[in-house]
Chain A
Amino acid sequence: MLEFTAPLFLALQQTTGLNFSPFFDEYDLGRLMTGVQTSLLLILCVLAVSLVVGLLGAAAQRSRFWVLRFLVATYIAVFRNTPPVVQLLFFYFGLGAFTPQVDMGGWYEPMISSFGWAVIALGIFGGSYNVEIFRAGIEAVPKATSEATEALAFSPMQTFVHVTMPLALRFSLPALASNLISLAKTTSIAYVIAVPEMTYALSGVWNDRLNVGEMMTLLFVYYIAVVAIISVIMGQLEKRLSVPGLGK
């Protein structure tokens, strides 16, 4: 790749002083690629965890057991009312201190890596919003619809799986899309616990090269591209699930 980009970006630097070093320097390119890979993997894992947590939380909110409902309510209150950076630091430094170390054959590493903690902390953070989003979707399904299933002898489970959930999912999608986008952007704060994602990788570059403005621009473009991809996917999903005469 460098053979194609290097002449162009070297010329750019010579004529304008703009230093996009990852496009002509092999070492910086390596850092950028690690950043992209880690960031994409982090986003994927965090979104997946947040969705699972959201679904489980929404189901638990409808539980007959008040203890379970109370736990979910507490969880939402705690994680929506504290900044994600604080949560991340709390998980990494607070809980991380108590997790066992694993013998890697001569040296020791914590059982949960900084990447692992970022997935857990941000997944749970995003999940607290998803619980509420799914709950709103479920509550938007008219009570009368489940009355009809009751009259048709559906079991409560059949009603949930075949009627309530498919409708709730459709009602939730727009809010879910904006939360997932917001969450994808929030992954950049994994930088504070040294997860080598995009922000961390490029900060390494600008610390060495002092090309802060250029790397910031690159970071901007990267996140815009990621958000665009998520938007398109969610938009396609909404389109595929759309039903004539429903919710319009």
Chain B
Amino acid sequence: MTTEYTEAWAPDQPIIDIRGLHKSFGTFEVLKGIDLSVHQGEVICIIGPSGSGKSTLIRTINGLTPINKGQIFIEGQLITGPKFDRLALRRRVGMVFQQYNLFPHRTVLDNVMMAPRLVLKEPKAEVRDRARALLAKVRLADKENHYPGELSGGQQQRVAIARSLCMRPDMMLFDEVTAALDPETVKEVLTTIKDLASEGMTCVLVTHEMGFAREIADRVVFTDGGRIVESGPPAQIFGDPQDARTKQFLSQVL
């Protein structure tokens, strides 16, 4: 359990490798020993009841939530050690949140350009071209001069995805990104994620959209009570769940 990668990471090794992860908030243990590895290009959907630790789990992957015990390796690098450079990690791991969290005082184009300009110090023209291409990709090319407050929830969420992608991350984390959206705009966001997944982006999603998970996931992970109860291909999890808790949960949400 205490091994550290010393050799260079190769793409056939897990891009995300979580080992024996424990996390408590005060006396409440949210994650009670999680082991999960994700390979490059994989799409993982984490499902489970509220309070099962899904969001906490995904937030540990880019260091937003510090952990108590265990190890997390990203591309072979131990990120949970004390000396690890979190900023360097976050350049490689993109994250999109439930509440979009756009910068309301900047235009859509600025929102997308800010991080590469400030953090990566890339030239303006280059970043602008990339930002415009990404906005076109999320079908918002005509909104680049609008402010976030002028957009619908679904549009804002797509800007948030473009903003994250403009940092050219190696993997993307989606934390219940459609939970705050109107039903009619959920689809446009899911389509964007689906496009991304089909291009080979490694994606970890926490989601309540079971139909979507079934459609795009390579692997579905069911969590309950801070543990991974069951994981496997969507056909197996949704079609033939093995654990009683999985069966119970799916019978309630499907």
Interface residues of A (CB under 8 A from B): 142, 144-145, 147-148, 150-155, 158, 162-163, 166-167, 170, 243-246, 248
Residue among A144, A148, A158 with the highest chain B CB neighbour number at 10 A: A148
Q: Which residues of B contact A153 (CB under 8 A)?
A: 87-88, 90-91, 115, 119, 167
Return chain A residues, CB-CB under 8 Å to B119: 152-155, 158
Complex contact B149–A244 (CB within 8 A): yes
Q: How far is the CA of A145 from the CA of B114 in the complex (A)?
A: 14
Q: Are B104 and A151 in touch, CB under 8 angstroms?
A: no
- Tell me if B101 is interfacial: C-beta within 8 Å of chain A: yes
Let me know if B99 and A151 touch, CB within 8 A. Answer: no
Using a CB–CB distance below 8 Å, which chain B residues touch chain A? 62, 64, 87-88, 90-91, 93-95, 97, 99, 101-105, 114-115, 118-119, 146-151, 160, 163-164, 167
Contact status A155-B87, CB under 8 Å = yes
Contact (Cβ within 8 A) A151 B105: no
B contact residues around A166 at 8 Å (CB): 105
Chain A residues within an 8 Å CB radius of B151: 245
Sample (19) of A-B pairs whose CB atoms are under 8 Å apart: A145-B103, A147-B101, A151-B94, A151-B97, A151-B164, A152-B90, A152-B114, A153-B91, A153-B119, A154-B115, A154-B118, A154-B119, A155-B119, A162-B103, A162-B118, A163-B103, A167-B105, A170-B105, A244-B150
User: Is B104 a contact of A243 with CB atoms below 8 Å?
Assistant: yes
Query: In the complex, A244 Cα to B146 Cα: how many Å?
Result: 8
Which residues of chain B are within 8 angstroms of A158 by Cβ–Cβ distance? 118-119
Q: State which of A144, A148, A150, A244 has its C-beta within 8 Å of the C-beta of B147.
A: A244
- A239 CB, nearest partner CB in chain B, Å: 14
Q: Are A245 and B149 within 8 A (Cβ)? A: yes
Q: Would you call B148 and A152 a contact (CB within 8 A)?
A: no
Q: Are B115 and A152 in contact (CB under 8 A)?
A: yes
- Chain B neighbourhood of A147, CB < 8 A: 64, 97, 101
- In the bound assembly, the distance between CA atoms of A153 and B117 in angstroms comes to 12
Which residues of chain B come closer than 8 Å to A152, judged between CB atoms? 90, 114-115, 119, 163-164, 167
Cβ-defined contact, A144 with B150, below 8 A: no
Distance of B145 from chain A, by nearest CB (Å): 10
Given A153-B87, A167-B105, 4 extra CB contacts under 8 A:
A151-B90, A151-B95, A154-B119, A245-B150
Docked pose: A151 CA to B104 CA in angstroms: 17
Give the distance in Å from the alpha carbon of A152 to the alpha carbon of B92 in the complex. Answer: 9
With contact pairs A152-B90, A153-B119, A154-B118 given, residues A167 and B104 touching in the complex (Cβ less than 8 Å): yes
> A151–B64 contact, CB under 8 A?
yes
A245 and B107 CA atoms in complex are apart in Å by: 11
Partner of A148, one of B93, B97, B150: B97
